[in-house]
């Protein structure tokens, strides 16, 4: 994805920073906030496992605000690595899609996970060529579709779970399309430059055609759409958001029709059962909640500063995977409302509909202990 986004970065960073009121000249990772009380710091920090998904954004902000917070971010590449990380005893908590977490619990891969927060409410869409005027999946039948995770194809993980659930809502399955799973860094140029799908060995060799659509989460979707609309993108075809995944899932009343309870934070029951570790978890959760609220209430100028912090954090923890997530892209996704992080809906108030939603996406209802609303 880096070559595709490079011209976008050069052309938009200055203008977006100006439009948002300018960024601070200081290093965005340097904290100026008050530090947590010393008695809240323990010798055992909470190890939070996370792929580079939007659920990690508030944690990166919280860590920048409170550098001595008792937390360690454990960066991983994809949902499959969640299993091995927890199996090896290297994680205490998880930032992921709600349905990813529910799947880990229902399959027994990480059976002890307990959901504490739901904060990510919008972010998935199908991008297609603007000239195709696509509005629904029926127009894509038999065509090439890409499904992308941040550092892997996402098959079997969160991007795949919501993609297949969206297809079912529309009355279809993956068998009705020519689907290929690719990391966003490989998928983005393929659709933007209309490269044949079989040029990548991960796709079926018979896919001798360019993809018609790509399933993406924010803020990658915002970055790719904006890039293809730039005059400097000579090799790219204009892309547009054509199918809003959130709008497909009708019949739920606990949240707006334009949103879904996509992601949040869970922790192991063994961690929450230990009084000392529970106290540490509460301090981390308090900082995480404050960061979520900060993002939700940010002004345009504050938004770009938050985006700078998050972008720097992504580079620090996930840059070795070749992942770039520029601050202008993050800020634009938040400003447009395509990426929604909110703190005002409690787990208790949404639990009934959330359970129905997770059952629809995953195929079975998580056990009651998965919902850990009380006391947190």
CB 189 within 8 A of CB 4: yes
| pLDDT number for residue 313 | 96
Q: What is the pLDDT along the chain (376 residues), one digit of tens a residue?
A: 344 444 433 333 333 333 333 333 333 333 333 334 434 444 699 999 999 899 999 999 999 999 999 999 999 988 889 999 999 999 999 999 999 999 999 999 999 999 999 999 999 999 999 999 999 999 999 999 999 887 776 788 899 999 999 999 999 999 999 999 998 889 999 999 999 999 999 999 999 999 999 999 999 999 999 988 886 667 889 999 999 999 999 999 999 999 999 999 999 999 999 999 999 999 999 999 999 999 999 999 999 999 999 999 999 999 888 788 899 999 999 999 999 999 999 999 999 999 999 999 999 999 999 998 666 7
CA atoms 146, 56, 7, 18: torsion sign: positive
The values of phi and psi at residue 71, to 5°, are: -145, 145
Pick the closest to residue 113 from 367, 299, 345 (CA basis).
Answer: 367
Q: Report the alpha-carbon distance of residue 172 to residue 126 in Å, rounded.
A: 15
Instruction: Output the CA angle 15-16-19, nearest 5 degrees.
Output: 85
- Say how far apart CA 357 and CA 20 lie, in whole Å: 36
Block residue for tokens 């601070």: 24
Strand order across the 124-129 sheet: 178-183, 144-149, 213-217, 124-129, 239-244
Burial class (CB in 10 A: 0-12, 13-18, 19+), 302: middle
Whole-angstrom distance, CA of residue 216 vs CA of residue 149: 7
Domain spanning 2-122+257-370: which CATH class is it, in words?
alpha beta
Beta carbons within 8 Å of 89's beta carbon, 6+ residues apart: none
Which residues make up the CATH 3.40.190.10 domain(s) of the chain?
2-122+257-370, 124-248
How much is the pLDDT for 304? Answer: 95
Calculate the alpha carbon distances from 369 to 269, 278, 313, 361 in Å. 9, 16, 32, 19
Q: Is the dihedral of CA 348, 352, 357, 360 positive or negative?
A: positive
Q: Whose structure tokens read 């922790």?
A: 267
How many Å apart are CA 272 and CA 202, to the nearest integer?
41
Taking only the tens place, the pLDDT of each residue in 13-28 is 333 333 333 333 333 3
Q: What is the pTM of this model?
A: 0.86
Q: Alpha-carbon distance 48 to 62, whole Å?
A: 13
| Domain boundaries 124-248, CATH class | alpha beta
Residue in the block written with tokens 């796709």: 203
């Amino acid at each position: 994805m880096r070559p595709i986004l490079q011209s976008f970065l050069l052309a938009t960073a200055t203008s977006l920073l100006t439009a948002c009121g300018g960024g601070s000249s200081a290093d965005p990772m340097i904290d100026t906030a008050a530090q947590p009380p010393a008695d809240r710091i323990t010798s055992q920090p909470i190890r939070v496992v996370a792929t580079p998904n939007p659920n990690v954004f508030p944690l990166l902000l919280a860590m920048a605000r409170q550098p001595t917070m008792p937390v360690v971010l454990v960066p991983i590449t994809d949902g499959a690595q969640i299993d091995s990380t927890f199996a090896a005893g290297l994680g205490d908590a998880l930032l992921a899609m709600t349905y990813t977490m529910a799947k880990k619990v229902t399959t027994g891969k990480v059976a002890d996970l307990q959901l504490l927060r739901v904060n990510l409410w919008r972010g998935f869409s199908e991008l297609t060529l603007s000239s195709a005027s696509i509005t629904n999946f029926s127009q894509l039948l038999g065509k090439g579709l890409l499904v992308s995770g941040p550092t892997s194809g996402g098959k079997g993980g969160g991007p795949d779970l919501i993609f297949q659930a969206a297809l079912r809502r529309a009355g279809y399955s993956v068998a009705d399309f020519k689907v290929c799973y690719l990391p966003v860094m490989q998928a983005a140029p393929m659709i933007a430059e209309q490269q044949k799908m079989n040029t990548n060995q991960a796709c079926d060799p018979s896919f001798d055609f360019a993809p018609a659509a790509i399933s993406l989460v924010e803020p990658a979707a915002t970055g790719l759409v904006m890039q293809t609309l730039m005059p400097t993108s000579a090799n790219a075809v204009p892309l547009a958001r054509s199918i809003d995944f959130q709008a497909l899932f009708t019949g739920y009343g606990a949240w707006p029709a334009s949103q879904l309870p996509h992601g949040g934070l869970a922790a192991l029951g063994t961690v929450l059962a230990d009084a000392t570790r529970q106290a540490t978890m509460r301090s981390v959760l308090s900082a995480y909640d404050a960061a979520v609220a900060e993002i939700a209430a940010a002004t345009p100028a504050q938004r770009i500063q938050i985006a700078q912090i998050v972008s720097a954090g992504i580079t620090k923890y996930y840059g070795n995977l070749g992942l770039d997530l520029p601050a202008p892209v993050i800020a634009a996704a938040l400003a447009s409302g395509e990426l929604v992080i909110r703190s005002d809906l409690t787990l208790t108030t949404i639990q009934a509909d959330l359970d129905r939603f997770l059952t629809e996406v995953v195929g079975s209802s998580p056990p009651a202990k998965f919902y850990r609303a009380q006391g947190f």
